Amino acid sequence: MKIRTIIPLIFCLLFSIACEKNLEEVPLSFFEESNSFVSAADATSAINGVYDRLKGVYGMTMINLADLNGDECEVREENGAGNEIHKNFFNSGTGIFNDFYTNSYILIDRANRVIGNVPKIVMDTKLRDQIIGEAKFIRALAYFNLVRAFGDVPLVTSVSNDVINVQIPRDPAEKVYQQIILDLQEAEKVLPAKFTAATEIGRATVGAAKSILAKVYLTRKDWTNAAAKAKEVIDSKTYSLVADFRDVFVPEKENGPEHIFSIQYSCVLPKYGSPMAELFAIYFSYPINLTGGTYQVVPAHANSYLAGDYRKEITVITEKKIANGTVVASRTGPHTDKYWDPLACGAQAARNNFLVIRYADVLLMYAEALNEIGGPTADAYAAINQVRARARKGVATAGPQDLKDVTQAQFRDAVLQERSWELCIEGHRRWDLLRTGKYIDNLKKIGIVAEAKHLLYPIPIQERDVNPALTQNPGY
């Protein structure tokens, strides 16, 4: 871990005066940390700084890691860096890995400082425990991403100001997972069911902690706990599928009943905007300077939808009608409309939140876990068929029809396919393929060389140069 990089950055936002989620300041000097955690306002400002850093590990970073390296998303040939990831040409020097690794540990360091210092503040105990729970949730989320990407990683759960001792070895993935589970279990005990104040929308809730915990259990093939935790989310009645699949992604309808946890972007200032809208837009269609991006949908995925599946209208487009009425056609293949924002605020700056987890995901996790326990049950069918029913948009004869009368193996394949149709380019595909053992075969089907070493990403060479105790993953 690059501690000498982390330490100069930890104070950015962590102790800023304002509490607005998008505020970012550059630190001018160091000061005693013990003097910075004194009041409830300090604790709130500190946790805001933790949330802000999530943007460095989600957005296009997660799309690159989890979707571009998969069988649904690709980039045009001129995007050399993107093709390194998509076509498995990457190595330990590929920049995206170092950026992700470093930003993840900066995020973890900020969370550790909240967890270590906020308990000392004399303040409302419920708010104090909630803020600590939020920090543990985010720390767990960061480690979950790291362990899925790299396997064994350094597990750091306390604050370190030592810029000399950087020889921190990797801890076994099993140990990291145990900390992730513990953090999420502790977080769910103290997080609220929802936030209502405008300044607090987007913060971690008990439903977010339970949903991510269900996904952790699912990843570890702990089917019983995965099903139980997903059912707790379902039974809470806090979330529901929105009636129109398009509304899941419309910026004006963000943080709605289906959204469990999202990374918040806005157009308060262009620098707070999301780059996803432009990078996925058909060229000459993005509302700022009529630009566009190189990220597209793999044709095989575009052709996989059943006739009448409404989700294809939003997920896969080959033309776009823009504000002046002109229809812009893609000259390079299918794009996606999930991240379209007609009121984008700047170049690579729009209002689209990044959806970390939503209710449809929980329903599909529940169906998958139940099936793995003992084959398809009535509850498993009910869960997946809720998602399928919405995809028909009220047309009884449209696809996909309700799933019924299939074997355990057929149900398993159906859930994986449903996740592809439902959650395409939302940061899940690589992890889904790895979890189900389909990664190598599915990438080969679209002409990408994939082998055992690609099941983990390489530890970035920059990190190993700074920290000689870091070993490398096999094959790199």
Q: Are residues 229 and 182 in the same domain?
A: no
Residue-wise pLDDT for 274-299, tens only, equals: 999 999 999 999 999 999 999 999 99
Residue-wise pLDDT for 229-267, tens only, equals: 999 999 999 999 999 999 999 999 999 999 999 999 999
**Could you tell me if 37 and 120 are in contact, meaning their C-beta atoms sit under 8 angstroms apart?**
yes
Query: Would you say residue 472 lies in a domain?
Result: no
Q: What is the CATH number of the domain that holds 99?
A: 1.25.40.890
CB count in 10 Å sphere of residue 313:
13
Q: Are residues 49 and 120 in the same domain?
A: yes
Closest C-alpha among 148, 276, 199 to residue 23: 199
Residue-wise pLDDT for 333-358, tens only, equals: 999 999 999 999 999 999 999 999 99
Sign (positive or negative) of CA dihedral 146, 150, 154, 160: negative
CA distances from 10 to 112, 114, 169 (A): 11, 11, 21
pLDDT at position 3: 41
Q: Taking the mean position of all CA atoms in its chain, how far away is CA 217?
A: 17
Q: What is the CATH number of the domain that holds 246?
A: 1.25.40.900
Closest C-alpha among 319, 364, 363 to residue 337: 319
Query: Would you say residue 39 lies in a domain?
Result: yes
**Whether the bond into 154 is cis, omega within 30 of 0:** no
Q: Are residues 146 and 245 in the same domain?
A: no
Percent with pLDDT over 70 in the chain: 92
Last residue of one domain, picked from the residues 336, 352, 368: 352
Is pLDDT of 8 > 60? no
3-state secondary structure 98-165: HHHHHHHHHHHHHHHHHHHHHHHCCCCHHHHHHHHHHHHHHHHHHHHHHHHHHCCECCCCCCCCCCCC
pTM of full prediction above 0.75: yes
Last residue of one domain, picked from the residues 352, 376, 403: 352
Q: Are residues 181 and 255 in the same domain?
A: no
DSSP state of 321: E
DSSP state of 317: B
pLDDT at position 36: 82
Q: Work out the mean pLDDT of the chain and round it to a whole number.
A: 92
Is pLDDT of 96 > 90? yes
Q: Taking the mean position of all CA atoms in its chain, how far away is CA 340?
A: 18
Residue-wise pLDDT for 184-238, tens only, equals: 999 999 999 999 899 899 999 999 999 999 999 999 999 999 999 999 999 999 9
Residue-wise pLDDT for 17-64, tens only, equals: 333 334 333 333 334 576 789 999 999 999 999 999 999 999 999 999
pLDDT at position 220: 98
Q: What is the span of the domain harbouring residue 316?
A: 265-352
Query: Would you say residue 209 lies in a domain?
Result: no
Q: Are residues 374 and 409 in the same domain?
A: yes
- For 134-158, what is the mean pLDDT? 98
Q: Are residues 290 and 372 in the same domain?
A: no
| Residues forming a β-bridge with 297 | 73
pLDDT at position 11: 39
Residue 270 burial by Cβ neighbours in a 10 Å radius (0-12, 13-18, 19+): middle
How far apart are alpha carbons 126 and 134 in whole angstroms?
12
Q: Are residues 69 and 160 in the same domain?
A: yes
Residue-wise pLDDT for 360-410, tens only, equals: 999 999 999 999 999 999 999 999 999 999 999 999 999 999 999 999 999
Looking at this protein, which amino acid is placed at residue 301?
H
How far apart are alpha carbons 240 and 259 in whole angstroms?
9
Q: Are residues 178 and 68 in the same domain?
A: yes
Radius of gyration of the chain (CA): 22
Is pLDDT of 1 > 80? no
Q: Taking the mean position of all CA atoms in its chain, how far away is CA 466?
A: 28
Six-digit token string for 159: 């604050």
Ranges of beta strands (E only) in 256-388 are 259-263, 295-297, 319-321, 327-329, 354-358
pLDDT at position 176: 98
Q: Are residues 310 and 327 in the same domain?
A: yes
Write out the H or E segment, with its range, that includes residue 284: none
Query: Would you say residue 442 lies in a domain?
Result: no
Q: Are residues 310 and 368 in the same domain?
A: no
Q: Are residues 228 and 99 in the same domain?
A: no
**Could you tell me if 158 and 1 are in contact, meaning their C-beta atoms sit under 8 angstroms apart?**
no
**Could you tell me if 134 and 183 are in contact, meaning their C-beta atoms sit under 8 angstroms apart?**
no
Query: Would you say residue 213 lies in a domain?
Result: no
Percent with pLDDT over 90 in the chain: 89
Last residue of one domain, picked from the residues 352, 374, 398: 352
Query: Would you say residue 250 lies in a domain?
Result: yes
Closest C-alpha among 254, 237, 251, 7 to residue 106: 7
How far apart are alpha carbons 1 and 139 in whole angstroms?
15
pLDDT at position 162: 62
Query: Would you say residue 204 lies in a domain?
Result: no
Q: Are residues 62 and 162 in the same domain?
A: yes
Report the number of distinct structural domains present in the chain.
3
Query: Would you say residue 144 lies in a domain?
Result: yes
